Amino acid sequence: MKRRVYLNHLSGTPLAPEVHEAMRPFFEEHHHGLAAREAIATARGQCAQLIGGTPEEILFTSSGTEANNLAIKGTAFAQRERGNHLVLSNIEHPSIEQSITWLEENGFEATRVPVDSEGFVSPKAIADAVTDKTILIATHHASHDLGTIQDIAAIGTIAAKRGIPFLVDATASGGWLPINLAANISLLTLAPHRFGGPQGAGILYRNRRAPLAPIIHGGAQEDGLRAGTENLAAIVGAGAAAALPIVDVTVLQHQLHDGLLKTIEPVRLNGAELGAGRLPSHLNYSIEGIEGEGLALALDLQGIGIASGAACVTKNLAVPPALTAIGLDAALAKGNVLLSLGRDTTAADIDHVLEVIPKQVDKLRSLSPAWDA
């Protein structure tokens, strides 16, 4: 039997045993009335504690994507009389980028601030993009595609000085990095399925002063801001995941990175260097002479799960926009692979991956006439 190693935690993590145990009673019997309300209240408190907020500031949605949609569109609609301009980086998650594109088709305007060669967006460039009509600044905490961590404290200061709501997409970093709401954050989104929780639940932190209008109508759930019957089991699971201790996988990240640099030549790390500027669970490489999708498929046959292409976008062979934004040429961008560690990853797993990946890279290169040339 092939050894199975999963290095695609950014797409979704296995359900943590503690989370499964917390959810189990809500699968086995129906909870309603006071018991259901108490379970949701407990989960709300657990999610608030993860980021240093209060339970009243936590809204539950069906996913991180829905949370981003609500934050973007809800903020825009709530402030239409104040202005119609939004500011974001040019490497945001599709749920941010496409929400804003939709707003642009409906009378709003947006400025996309370029990032540098490592994926960092300049706070000064954000400030320069702000106008008197700006009603939202939106950026990620850590890039899904590049792993680069933005200076949200500096950006938050800019937003606060101008009285502009500030949205932080923490759906890649939540559960992996500490989050400080003192950075003048108005809205923040989390995706529990990326830190040991279930699919089917998303989290939106909303400062009570942040203007927000609902985009789903039909009920009074979530303080009237997100109608629809609550997914009770998933919400309980989200809370249980939020209560898990943050796991430091930095040692494993370095083990994998150093091993790949020693065994594959040439290979390029995309995004920030390892350290304070990079998500500790995240590695993104471009490997010359192969296509990333081909390597991902070859490794899958060997029992190793990784990703290729844009994070969160499956069945899409297009070059990830983030790689274009940092100036990577098309040939290297097509050789892109993304490896993301989890709380279940072990040193033995990394050793096994370092045995298998170089062999598969050599095999794919041997089939390429261009590489031989």
Catalytic residues: 312
pLDDT along the chain (373 residues), means of 10: 92 96 90 90 98 97 98 97 97 97 98 98 98 98 97 97 98 95 95 98 97 96 95 97 96 98 95 97 95 95 89 59 93 92 97 97 88 68
The domain spans of the chain are 5-13+246-372, 17-242
Q: How far apart are CA 45 and CA 58, in angstroms?
A: 8
Nearest to residue 307, comparing CAs of 293, 321, 318? Answer: 293
17-242 to CATH, choices 3.60.15.10, 3.20.20.450, 3.40.640.10, 2.60.120.260:
3.40.640.10
Q: What is the largest CA-CA distance in the chain?
A: 71
Q: How far apart are CA 137 and CA 111, in angstroms?
A: 10
What is 5-13+246-372's CATH superfamily?
Aspartate Aminotransferase, domain 1 (3.90.1150.10)
Q: How far apart are CA 186 and CA 181, in angstroms?
A: 8
Rg of the chain on CA atoms, in Å: 21
Q: How far apart are CA 156 and CA 123, in angstroms?
A: 9
Backbone phi and psi for residue 76, each to the nearest 5 degrees, phi listed first: -65, -45
Predicted pLDDT of residue 30: 79
- Can you give the three-state secondary structure of the chain, one letter per residue? CCCCEECECCCCCCCCHHHHHHHHHHHHCCCCHHHHHHHHHHHHHHHHHHHCCCHHHEEEECCHHHHHHHHHHHHHHHCCCCCCEEEEECCCCHHHHHHHHHHHCCCCEEEEECECCCCCECHHHHHHHCCCCEEEEEEECECCCCCEECCHHHHHHHHHHHCCCEEEECCCCCCCCCCCCCCCCCEEEECHHHCCCCCCCEEEEECCCCCCCCCCCCCCCHHHCCCCCCCHHHHHHHHHHHCCCCCCCHHHHHHHHHHHHHHCCCEEECCCCCCCCECCCEEEEEECCCCHHHHHHHHHHCCEECECCCCCCCCCCCCCHHHHHCCCCHHHHHCEEEEECCCCCCHHHHHHHHHHHHHHHHHHHHCCHHHHC
Predicted pLDDT of residue 29: 82
Residue carrying the six token digits 């490592």: 118
277 and 119 Cβ atoms separated by less than 8 Å: no
- Which positions ≥6 away from 82 have C-beta within 8 Å? 133, 135
141 and 177 Cβ atoms separated by less than 8 Å: yes
Q: How far apart are CA 345 and CA 304, in angstroms?
A: 12
Signed CA dihedral, 176, 180, 183, 186: sign only: positive
